[in-house]
Structure 1
Amino acid sequence: MPAPLTDEEIDRLARRRAGAKLGWYIHAAVYLAVNLFLFAISEHGWGARRWTWFPALGWGLGLALHGISVFVLGAGAGLRERLVQRERERLLRERRGP
């Protein structure tokens, strides 16, 4: 079991996690604004074919991967913490030897 975090370490970790989440929210807001603008352009001129779904899908995939990295695999997420703990235990066993 890892040593308890100090108040300073907790504050630093909380700020880093909050910053990562805020970065994703900003990314999502920009994605929405830009894609709404592109949709409006496509509806009022510039070609008869719908082309806005190409950038929406490509960028949407990037936004989804960003969200997964922040909310699922990010620091403090349960999956990441379990994997780190398993790796720590494996390295300690290797260091001790057979």
Structure 2
Amino acid sequence: MPERLSTEEIERLARKRAAAKIGWYFHAAVYVIVNTGLYFMSEQGFGIRRWSLGPVFGWGLGLALHGISVFILGQGSGLRENLVQRERERLQREQDRLDGR
């Protein structure tokens, strides 16, 4: 069962998640701008035709994985939060052992 969060923890988590989403939106904007430029360069004959499709698909895969990590895995009830909780418990056990408890 998940533990109740304090107001400060809620604020910190909300800010962290908002920052992750802003990071993804920035990543998506740069992806569109850069790949649009690459497309026009490839159409103007700077090399083999349609070479811009490689970066579109490769970077697109990276953008999709980034989106999954932000919007699906980072929602709180997913894999990420479970791993964080396990690490928190492991670290607390180590601290308790060091403190002689």
TM-score of the superposition, structure 1-length normalised? 0.76
Q: Percent identity?
A: 59
- 1:48: how far off? 4.5
- AA of the residue aligned to 1:23: G
Q: 2:42: which partner in 1?
A: 42
What aligned pairs does 1:1-98 form with structure 2 within 5 A after superposition?
Answer: 1-76=1-76, 78-80=77-79, 84=82
Query: 2:24 & 2:48 partners in 1: Cα distance?
Result: 33
Query: 1:79 & 1:13 partners in 2: Cα distance?
Result: 14
CA RMSD of aligned residues (A): 2.3
- 1:59: how far off? 0.5
- Runs (4 or more) in structure 1 with deviation over 4 Å come to none
Q: How many residues align?
A: 86
The runs of 5 or more residues in structure 1 that have no matched partner are 92-98
- 1:58: how far off? 0.6
The runs of 5 or more residues in structure 2 that have no matched partner are 90-101
Query: 1:84 & 1:35 partners in 2: Cα distance?
Result: 36
Deviations 1:41-65 (A, max 9, x none): 1112213421000011110111011
